Amino acid sequence: MGSIDIGVIFIFTLLVFICGMSFSKAGKNMKSYFAAGGALPWWMSGLSLFMSFFSAGTFVVWGSIAYSTGWVAVTIQWTMCIAGIIIGFFIAPKWQQTKAITAAEYISERLGKTTQKTYTYLFLFISIFTTGAFLYPVAKIVEVSTGIPITTSVIVLGVLILIYTAVGGLWAVIVTDVLQFIVLTAAVLIVVPLSFDKIGGINEFVAQAPEKFFEFTNSEYSWVFMIAFGLYNLFFIAGNWAYVQRYTSVATPKDAKKVGWLFGALYTISPIIWMVPPMIYRVLNPELGELADEGAYLLMCKEVLPIGMLGLMLGGMVFATSSSVNTTLNISAGVLTNDIYKNLFPNTTDKGLVKVARIATIALGILTIIIALLVPLFGGIVEVVMSLAALTGGAMFLPPLWSLFSKRQTGKTILTTTFISLTINAFFKFFAPDLIGVTLERAMEMVVGMGTPILILAAIEIYLAQTKSSTSAYDDYEVIRKQKEVDAKAEEDDSDNSNNKGTRVIGIGVVATGLLIVLLSFIGEYANFLVGGIGSAVMLLGAYIIYKTKQ
């Protein structure tokens, strides 16, 4: 990587950092800091949800699977599309109607404070490992591209991310996510055609690809796995506290539906586009060893991108992947502040709570950096992501989701389901191989992880219905929820001004990025017309966004 590429990385890093820091005064209170005022435009929230989830493993986790097994990686990600559509129809509007700032707030009101405290501690413990698993791919990308040691990358990037997340709150997260979406969309429209050209065209790629490279499933990732993993994605995207924030931060249930539908639509197309480069690289270089295939995507980019564009692609990939980190950091800090600290010190002012939130973000960011440094000791990022999914996805996120639709479930039944499911999952993952000689394959591990809480909750629901158990807890919650609806309508908020500012910052960032791409088209040795055309389109898009804010 040359000096121009490194310079482009620096410029893009500075641009993202400035965009995030421009919201340093946006956090006037808890609602503005953690929910962007509660009236976030649905398209911003949907794009942020996509980037927060999509970027966590696309380049490293799914890119590794695409290199090794081919089209299977696309099939895996299509399960996310189906999940998004279901969430849009049924679950996202339910979350918006709770009028809660965080999922923990909903759990407290619906299932009781004891249940909320237990889930809060579980969520915070798991989220530290989740954010560590998200930060590791960022550093891996930098290591593959620049040769900077992964330890150094983890520390530097982790510090940078936690600074602008702590300062700007949810608005910083949202705006930088949308900017990264635009940048990466532009970059991939350059990478894909150049990748096909490198291999001699689509027909040549198909002819040279390994046997069974375009099959939808294989022995490790079977249809059984796909169904179970699809359920995991449904529970995770619908119930993960970081993503719930995207449904509760928009103004109406209809907007919340659009957030889910936009996510599903993007995951219909993006898996095909994003998985092509690492699949092509398998044909170019089939000799990558274990764990080395985690860098297949970047290695393909290094093969085909003209001067400067590799730096922009790397910058976009780094900060897109880091959006998963800042999203989880923001909501975790929200839980610590809104659902723990605020309960302990109820007389704290809004200004004091925002200060606590920023300190919590920094503390969680430091723990995230430590976990990311330990990922290689856990067997690599693919193993970490899949194991976390099987162990915690259904057990943690399905029970509270179930309570959105059930009048009879209580805090006791929901917690019981979670603990039994976690115990069973942990037994088969860590103890069964030695104690009873049973080691579950990946598909069965996922089936057990998703199927156990479903069966337990269904059995409890049937029992509660037959015994005509009391719905008093639900009735009490409805009183609280309806009062919050009244308060929300009466509350004066400056969300329109914040929305205009957020859109304007996005527009300026997009124009600046488009200009940078156009300038790079003049110094590149090839593909100048393609790069210049994409850059001009990005500039026009940014100008249109700015124009809409003035209207």
Q: Which residue has the higher pLDDT, 407 or 150?
A: 407
* pLDDT at residue 268, as a whole number: 93
Q: What total of structural domains would you count in the chain?
A: 1
Mean pLDDT of the region 187-212: 93
Cα separation, 412 vs 208, in Å, equals 57
* pLDDT at residue 22, as a whole number: 76
Out of 248-257, 350-359, 408-417, the most confident range is: 408-417
Mean pLDDT of the region 436-465: 91
484-493 long-range contacts, CB within 8 A, separation 24+: 484/99, 484/100, 485/97, 485/99, 488/38, 488/99, 493/31, 493/37, 493/38, 493/39
* pLDDT at residue 242, as a whole number: 79
In a domain, 44, yes or no: yes
* pLDDT at residue 253, as a whole number: 93
Four-point Cα dihedral 260, 265, 270, 271, nearest 10: 80
Cα separation, 194 vs 300, in Å, equals 10
* pLDDT at residue 484, as a whole number: 84
Mean pLDDT of the region 253-273: 94
User: Per-residue confidence at 490, pLDDT binned at 50, 70, 90?
Assistant: low
* pLDDT at residue 408, as a whole number: 94
Mean pLDDT of the region 54-72: 79
Mean pLDDT of the region 156-173: 71
Each residue's pLDDT tens digit, 207-241:
999 999 999 999 888 999 899 889 988 998 999 88
Residue 383 scores a pLDDT above 80 = no
Q: Which residue has the higher pLDDT, 501 or 535?
A: 535
How many other C-beta atoms can be found within 10 angstroms of the C-beta atom of residue 273? 14
Lowest mean pLDDT across 142-156, 222-236, 320-334: 320-334
Residue that has been written with the tokens 């893009």 in this structure:
12
Q: Which residue has the higher pLDDT, 175 or 167?
A: 175
Cα separation, 197 vs 190, in Å, equals 11
Out of 100-109, 140-149, 200-209, the most confident range is: 200-209
Cβ–Cβ under 8 Å, residues 166 and 365: yes
* pLDDT at residue 42, as a whole number: 92
Each residue's pLDDT tens digit, 290-320:
656 767 888 898 899 998 888 888 787 777 6
* pLDDT at residue 27, as a whole number: 53
Mean pLDDT of the region 65-81: 93
User: Per-residue confidence at 2, pLDDT binned at 50, 70, 90?
Assistant: confident
Q: How buried is residue 128: exposed, middle or buried, by Cβ count under 10 Å (0-12/13-18/19+)? A: middle
Domain that holds residue 238: 3-373+381-490+500-549
Cα separation, 478 vs 484, in Å, equals 10
Q: How buried is residue 481: exposed, middle or buried, by Cβ count under 10 Å (0-12/13-18/19+)? A: middle
Mean pLDDT of the chain: 84
In a domain, 52, yes or no: yes
* pLDDT at residue 204, as a whole number: 94
Four-point Cα dihedral 362, 387, 243, 120, nearest 10: -60
In a domain, 495, yes or no: no
Cα separation, 57 vs 443, in Å, equals 19
What is the CATH number for 339? 1.20.1730.10
Cα separation, 517 vs 525, in Å, equals 14
Residue that has been written with the tokens 């997340």 in this structure:
165
Residue 494 scores a pLDDT above 70 = no
Mean pLDDT of the region 153-173: 72
* C-alpha dist (Å) from residue 263 to 269, 290, 302, 377, 507: 11, 32, 29, 33, 21
Phi, psi dihedral angles at 346 (to 5 degrees): -65, -15
In a domain, 409, yes or no: yes
Lowest mean pLDDT across 34-38, 108-112, 149-153, 314-318: 34-38
* pLDDT at residue 28, as a whole number: 55
Structure-token pair, residue 204: 């040549």
Each residue's pLDDT tens digit, 389-438:
667 878 999 999 999 999 999 999 999 999 999 999 889 888 898 899 98
Alpha carbon 100 to chain centroid, angstroms: 20
Cβ–Cβ under 8 Å, residues 323 and 55: yes
- Start-to-end Cα distance in the chain: 43
Cβ–Cβ under 8 Å, residues 161 and 362: no
- Angle, CA of 250, 489 and 104, to the nearest 5°: 50
The full DSSP string for 367-429 is HHHHHHHHGGGGT-HHHHHHHHHHHHHHHHHHHHHHHHH-SS--HHHHHHHHHHHHHHHHIII
* pLDDT at residue 154, as a whole number: 79
* pLDDT at residue 491, as a whole number: 55
* C-alpha dist (Å) from residue 222 to 72, 83, 227, 466: 9, 18, 9, 38
Cβ–Cβ under 8 Å, residues 411 and 111: yes
Structure-token pair, residue 109: 């009101």
Cα separation, 246 vs 100, in Å, equals 12
Q: Is 112 helix (H, G, I), strand (E, B) or coil?
A: coil
Residue 56 scores a pLDDT above 50 = no
Residue 347 scores a pLDDT above 70 = yes
Q: How buried is residue 344: exposed, middle or buried, by Cβ count under 10 Å (0-12/13-18/19+)? A: exposed
Cα separation, 280 vs 282, in Å, equals 5
